[in-house]
Amino acid sequence: MSTAALILMFLLLPRDSAANLWCYECGTQVAGKPDCEEFHQASAWTPFWRECSKDSICVKILPAWPSEHNVLETVRGCAPRANHRGVVHREGCWSHPTASQSLVCFCGTNFCNAAHATTPLLPAILTAVFAVLLR
């Protein structure tokens, strides 16, 4: 099955509250996963897929300051739905209240922690969906 067909399947299926969440996972801080720079350049994003637990939420962290390699090292992955104090993460983005002022984004739908820009396959998927609906 092609990558486009798999992504279309995940996007069109209703989200079952009992089903696990799927997120993209990458970053220099994630053991065994490619750097997120490779995520942007990849022709297929399936190597970055991660099935998260039912009590997870997708996260994307954008650092405000470059690393020691002078690169802004984005991290994507799964996070617990609640923080260590038991407070549930709201969906959306905000600056983390630390000296680094990193931008942290949480979202709760499959593959929602992709790039800011339109994903490479999104226009093709939307065209296919509208073509089927217009028949």
pLDDT value of residue 32:
72
Please give the structure tokens belonging to residue 60: 């994307």
Chain centroid, CA 84 distance in Å: 21
Asked whether the predicted pLDDT for residue 122 surpasses 50, the reply is no
pTM of the model: 0.65
Q: What is the 3-state secondary structure (H, E, C) of 70-100?
A: CCCCCEEEEEECECCCCCECCCEEEECCCCC
The upper half-sphere exposure of residue 127, i.e. CA atoms within 13 Å in the direction of its Cβ, equals 6
Q: What is the largest CA-CA distance in the chain?
A: 54
pLDDT digit string (tens) for 77-118? 999 999 889 999 999 988 876 656 788 899 999 999 985 533
The amino acid at residue 55 is: D
- CA distances to 6, 14, 122, 134 from 128, rounded to whole Å, are 13, 18, 10, 10
pLDDT value of residue 67:
64
Fold of the CATH domain 24-39+48-111 = CD59 (2.10.60)
Please give the structure tokens belonging to residue 32: 């065994």
pLDDT digit string (tens) for 2-51? 555 555 455 544 445 558 999 999 886 666 777 887 777 777 878 889 99
pLDDT value of residue 33:
73
Domain ranges of the chain: 24-39+48-111
User: Given CA atoms 4, 91, 97, 56 in this order, what sign does their dihedral have?
Assistant: negative
pLDDT digit string (tens) for 57-79? 999 988 777 666 666 678 899 99
pLDDT value of residue 36:
81
